[in-house]
Amino acid sequence: MTAADERVPRPRALRDRRARRPHAADNGGAVELASVTDEPVWFSYTVAGDTIVWSEGLRALLGRPPTGNQISQQVLARYVHRDDHARALAAITRAWTSRESVRITVRLMRADGGWFDVDCRLEPTTGPDGGITGVRGTLRDVSARERARREVDRLSRRGETVLASVIERDPATGLLNRARFADEVDRALRRGGGALLVVRIQPDRGMTERTDRADGQEGMRGQLRTTERGEGHDDVPGQHRGDGEGIAPERHAELLHRAARVLEGLVRPEDLLGRVGPHEIGVLLAGVSWTLARRQAQLFVEALRAHPFVLPDAWLRARAWAGLVRFHPGAEAGSHDLLIDAEHAWRQGRGSDRPLTPVPQPVPARDRQGTYRDRVADALGTDRFSLVAQPIVELQTNAVARYELLLRVLDETGGPQSPIQVLDTAERLDAVYDIDLWVVERAMQLAAERDDLNLQINLSGRSVGDPRLTAEVEGLIKRYEVNPEQLTFEITETALIGNLSEARHFADRVRDLGCELALDDFGSGYASFRYLRLLPIDLVKIDGEYVVNLVHSPQDQVLVRALVQVCQAYGIHTVAEFVQDEPTLRMLREFGVDYVQGYLVGRPEPVDALRPPPRVRRSNRR
């Protein structure tokens, strides 16, 4: 029940090069190879006059004969690799002060700009009175050895930084996440036919029994009993008031985890499971006939409905609805289209309490788009979208400088729905513009009520490339009489910018008005350094993937530091996302990050908490 290529094999060339790499010798693990030349070369430094004398062998290696005796500072600057200057000086100082020989490996520069590695033995020279008069260095070309050592180090670092698997799993259920599951569906589409099942699972409120905890022991109070559903329960077609009462919200993930284990015991070894939504599990039935797929899907749904789930604080049964979509090789519908069709099917089934809704053929693209746009319009009209605000702290003042407005989505039952999934689907079906415009107008309303707030408003890359957006934003700013300097429009690069010319027009216009422009999730997704030159970006948000483990990951440290330096060179402020602890905050300060955002400095809160309190009318009556 895992992807066939979960482990990513190393490229053959990489394996062969590892096999051919030199083996460590017994002398401390040092790699010993024959030097390019067995002829030792030397130089002699004399403190009197601060001059250096060269051997003919060293002159030949450098590729350019030094003119006469040169002073030591010139030699160090010209012939020692600049990254080895400090080490070379330290070794000379140590040989001088300790009166003992010192060994060091450094890189020397050739006349053509190339360089080579040498082992250098530094020995102090003394005069008749025993005082130090200079240093003599004996060198040997070890370029081949050092090249092999660096290659071994490079391969080792690359092995540590490349993920062993491209298969990402959902932490709550252990199943493939939606993106990786979709990849497997696409692969199945290329290989042959089959079916895709999406199952919606939620607690059955009418069949839930709480458990007691006494004396530190968990005990069951009574047995799971079947109760009669009264009026207002979920069995009334079309009336769904939530995902269950009598069970804590955090237990929904636990229920999905247990449901995944049930399905794992029923599916074939070649079938794949994935978590495709907050309450949905996908099952990929590749290479099965339509008749067998329907029979298996029916079995899965019945098993979930009949299974008693034992959670830490409750016994319960689950309600389940499923959408099953058949696919053929070479069909126009891709993995995301099939997922949308299957999700729409289970929603239809829930409306009539039908456990399984089969779809013999993928829905035509135009119908799919129209249906989803209707769903978006319905959600916008029934207050199933809401906004929360998360503070962003400026590190110079340690004060909240702005708030990012984040979308929260409820499904038709009032249960939480993944905003990432909703926006991703809306972008694919060209339905995200209406959502973005809804967010912009709510942000304008809040900015009008609180002229002391600076707000960051997320916009899809597709909306930024929509020619309608610029006029709409200008109109809303005038209607609500908002100070444009309060607003930063943040391009969320979950999709490529649809029209770069229109995006540049929008960016120039909003900046002319006084707004700022930000680029979200930089370092991942579709955002690229090219956008920093094409768009007048004021603020870059470093993707939290590189911040969450920053303190323990030298590779992430290099990347974040480099991004900050690039942005500083371009005159762009930086924000680090997902900051969760003090060590990470301190490191980001050292790197020169301007702002931070994350649970350490503030969690998202409903925007109503930012609204001014209502004024209380005072009565004139005594």
pLDDT, tens only, 203-217: 876 665 554 443 333
Q: Where are the alpha helices (DSSP H) in 416-468?
A: 419-428, 432-449, 461-464
pLDDT, tens only, 340-351: 999 999 988 988
Q: What is the pLDDT of residue 208?
A: 57
pLDDT, tens only, 599-613: 999 999 999 999 887
Q: What is the pLDDT of residue 413?
A: 63
Q: What is the pLDDT of residue 244?
A: 44
Q: Report yes or no: 411 and 616 within 8 Å, Cβ to Cβ.
A: no
Nearest-5° Cα angle at 558, 554 to 559: 120
Q: How far from the centroid of its chain's Cα atoms is residue 62's Cα? A: 47
Q: What is the pLDDT of residue 437?
A: 94
Q: What is the pLDDT of residue 167?
A: 61
Q: CB-based burial of residue 382 (10 Å sphere; 0-12 exposed, 13-18 middle, 19+ buried)? A: exposed
Residues 6+ positions from 562 with CB-CB distance below 8 Å:
none
Distance between CA 351 and CA 354 in Å, rounded? Answer: 8
List phi, psi (to 5°) of 34: -65, 140
Q: What is the pLDDT of residue 431?
A: 84
Pick out the chain residues at pLDDT < 70. 1-40, 64-73, 76, 161-167, 205-250, 412-417, 493-496, 498, 525-528, 614-622
Tokens of 277: 């939504």
